[in-house]
Amino acid sequence: MIRQLSTLILFAVTASAQVPIPAGDDWENQGTVIVKGGVGDWDEEISGAIGDPGAIIKLGDTYFLYYIGSDGRRADGGPAHRRLGVATSSDGVHFTKHPSNPILEFSPFGCDEEGVFSVAPVVVDSTVFLYYGGMHSAYRKSDCTSVNASIRVAISTDGIAFSNDEEVVNGKTAGCAGCGDEIYPVAAFRRDSDGIWFIYYNGGGPWDLYLIAGPAYDRLIVSDTTDKPVLNKPTGLRNIGRLNWLDADTFALFIGEYSDAIPAPSRPVAVYIVEASDPYAIHTTPDERYESIHAPFAENMHATTYLDRSVWRMIYGKCTYGPCRDSWIDAFGLRTAARADVSSDSPRSR
């Protein structure tokens, strides 16, 4: 009985232990996993959006890497017709673009600058709730190079075919913190204890981070936003993609720090540890920060992460055909870091 009790106590301590965040030099680059398409392809460009790359999820034994592509450039030089695609993998290392790409489009008025600009998937009981930033010219129909953006959601049971696409937060809603011309969801989760849904989004102009909540995936309450950003930086904040659960109630946000003052191709990634019981409380100082002084991050243009059974995975933007210019990447690379705990799986999958 004493031996059994000791085993139970040891298991309880092990199971509740928080997964450590890797140090900068713990990561190892594993090469290129995706390159942009050819001339005229839907993903001729894979740059010019927050979702470059977008997010990684796992359904069953298959990894899904969501990313945003455009079929060229507009007259003003920006990306045209941004749409969502996916690449899949059975091992989390070798990814193949799906033949159904692009899998999600949003262009209600047929304007070049309309499209998908960010993604924030949540997986609940094998169903994917994909929040995304939908850019549209509803208020500026005569000017197709000017857009507004709202938070939308679409649903899928296979990670490929999405339906029930609807707007959940309009960027021009009165009283919405940080709202205005454009808002973009960058991470989301459903809290187990009470079923409340939370969405982190960029807003306020300088890409500050805000949070909105609601009782259902499509019932987000504007009054449940903070009047100030939950996190702001002079550099601006971009590209989270998904949460990484460190234990049953704690998650990490890997946030790209973006600014024209931070030269390409090495833009830092800051890691913030947050309690699900109070997701509005984010420390102003990151718990970890990856930058060019760490050899694996000498090249990094946005990144998204996935905490797997025995390894951390990070997909990041890179340039394979020469130096990065004007923040335009042409490929996604993979870096990994071994988990420093003994858990056999991520504490929970979202």
CA pair distance 74, 292, nearest whole angstrom: 32
As a whole number, mean pLDDT of residues 131-138 equals 87
The secondary element (H helix, E strand) that includes residue 7 is helix 2-16
**pLDDT category of residue 284 using cuts at 50, 70 and 90:** confident
Pairing of strands 269-275, 288-290: antiparallel
Q: Environment class of residue 308 by beta-carbon count within 10 Å: exposed (0-12), middle (13-18) or buried (19+)? A: middle
Highest mean pLDDT among 162-166, 240-244, 301-305: 162-166
Mean pLDDT (the chain, rounded):
84
Q: Which residue has the higher pLDDT, 194 or 172?
A: 194
Whole-number pLDDT of residue 12 = 38
Tell me the percentage of the chain whose pLDDT exceeds 70: 83
Q: Which two tokens stand for residue 137?
A: 């010219």
- At 6 the pLDDT is 39
pLDDT at 41: 96
Check whether 58 has a pLDDT greater than 90: yes
User: Residue 142: its pLDDT value, please?
Assistant: 59
Q: What is residue 236's predicted lDDT score, i.e. its pLDDT?
A: 63
Structural contact between residues 134 and 167, judged by C-beta atoms closer than 8 angstroms: yes
**Residue at 348 is within a domain:** no
Contact yes or no for 95/89 (Cβ under 8 A): yes
Examine the pLDDT at 91 and tell me if it is beyond 60: yes
Lowest mean pLDDT among 35-44, 98-107, 110-119: 110-119
Q: Is 226 contained in some domain?
A: yes
Q: Supply the range of the domain harboring residue 107.
A: 21-338
pLDDT score of 155? 98
Whether the pLDDT of residue 3 is over 50: the answer is: no
Q: Is residue 349 part of a domain?
A: no
* pLDDT at site 5: 37
Decide if 10 is inside a domain. no
Q: Is the pLDDT of residue 1 over 50?
A: no
Domain count of the fold of the chain: 1
Which amino acid would we find at residue 85? G
Task: Give the model's pLDDT for residue 44.
Answer: 93
**What CATH number did the domain enclosing 334 receive?**
2.115.10.20
What does the pLDDT look like over 287-309, one tens digit per residue? 999 988 788 888 887 889 999 98
Tokens matching residue 147 = 């857009």
pLDDT value at residue 65: 97
- What is the tens place of the pLDDT at every residue in 178-194? 777 778 899 999 999 99
pLDDT cut 90: percent of the chain above it: 51
Query: Is the per-residue pLDDT at 265 higher than 90?
Result: no
Quick check: is 171 in a domain? Answer: yes
Q: Is 7 inside a domain boundary? A: no
CA 323 to chain centre: 25
DSSP helix/strand/coil, 101: coil
Q: Report, as an integer, the average pLDDT of 9-31.
A: 75
Total residues belonging to the chain: 350
Say if residue 13's pLDDT is above 50.
no
- Is the peptide bond prior to 185 cis by the omega test (within 30 degrees of 0)? no
Angstrom distance (rounded) from CA 295 to CA 245: 26
Is 344 within a domain? Answer: no
**13 falls within a domain:** no
